[in-house]
Amino acid sequence: MSVETMPDLLILGLVFLTGWIAHVISSRAHIPRVTILLTIGVISGPAGLDLVPEEFIQHFSTVTHLALAMIGFLLGESFVGRDIMAERRQILFISFGAAFIPALFVFFVVLLVSSNLILALVLAGIATATDPAATVDVIREFKAQGPVSRVLKGVVAVDDAWGIIIFSLLLVAATALSGNDTSISEIVHGFWDVFGALLLGGLIGIPMSVVIGRHQSGEPSIVEAMGFVFICGGCALYFDVSYLLACMMLGATVALKAKHVERPFHEIETASDPFLIIFFILSGMSLELSASDSLSVIGCVYVAARSIGKIIGAKVFARLANSSSQVSQYLGGCLLPQAGVAIGMALLVGEKLPEFSDSVLTLAVSTTVLFELFGPFITRWNLYRAGEIQ
């Protein structure tokens, strides 16, 4: 049986078993699972051994929309979660600084190196994203306790929300600058992309809150929860607004208004796992090595500018929020991991700006692997220096 004739069902089974093997390796080797999945995707895709038919890789766009719709929904619940209420002021300050300052650094450095304004804008937007899962895994694995780890949990839950907003605005600016028509209609569409998404998520979140709220605590609600999340994402695509932002607003609305909210978010988090496995493997398969040579310098300055921006942004805004010296000194180094949201942003860039698709996706995947490989170790080292890990 040749690669071209392999049934999709067989490939899906192999992909899920690969995800299970990656989880086993991750738990034993203390390497983030996403790093392993991305590496497997690169090896098995066209850039490596070319083991998967091209028709299967073409499903990437649909899987991306499904996976990121659920991620956005979960981020919305984190944005208004009870865990960050006690320290909301400093968490909001630090998370904004950890998203805005890296974007600022990356924009100016990439613009200086490449002299490409559009590329600088989209990479600045992608630089805002972090990986909450990898960071929280380090805290749980080593049982970190103290002010840094406590504030860190809230910051990683919130800064992707800021990142999505900043990225959406920068992508609108890049799209307007890339075309011949930069009239007022493009600016209006940019505001519609952001505020229309918020409006859509809020409107769909109200009936979802009523439906979810009818359940008693502990009753299953996975079917209707996924239905509402996918309807929200689909409507966002249909009305041409940010589906990440729309689903984030959906999650925030449900978290604020529904009576029994623990179960649907837990169910969505569990159900998203198989989609994320396919998403990360297909992300690796989509890597274009042919674009890597021209991105070597830009990739290096992007990694350096994002890392420095995260550390300085968290430190400066922690001081503005009157945080403790421990938090201001060590928190920024814990925010380097970057995963699925960044790749999702790169895919959105490819949809809006096809001429930048290969180069931006290649850089996003390559730097994500780098940040996911070393980021958790740097997080652990900073928590150790803060005295919160034995």
Q: Which residues, 6+ apart, have CB-to-CB distance to 14 below 8 Å?
A: none
Q: How many CB atoms lie within 10 A of CB 25?
A: 14
Give residue limits of the domains in the chain: 61-385
pLDDT at 180: 42
Architecture of the domain delimited by 61-385: Up-down Bundle (1.20)
Q: Encode pLDDT of 232-242 as tens digits.
A: 888 888 887 77
User: Average pLDDT in the 141-149 region?
Assistant: 75
Where is average pLDDT lowest: 148-152, 252-256, 293-297? 293-297
State pLDDT tens for residues 289-328: 555 555 578 888 888 999 999 999 888 888 888 878 888 8
Residue 294 φ/ψ region, left for φ over 0, alpha for ψ in the -120 to 50 degree band, beta for the rest: alpha
Q: What pLDDT, on a 0 to 100 scale, did the predictor assign at position 252? A: 82
Res 19: pLDDT: 78
Q: If pLDDT is split at 50, 70 and 90, which confidence band does 105 have?
A: very high
CB within 8 A of 223, min separation 6: which ones? Answer: none
Nearest to 90 by CA among 160, 146, 158, 145: 158
pLDDT score recorded for residue 266: 66
Of 163, 170, 168, 154, which is closest to residue 92 (Cα–Cα)? 154
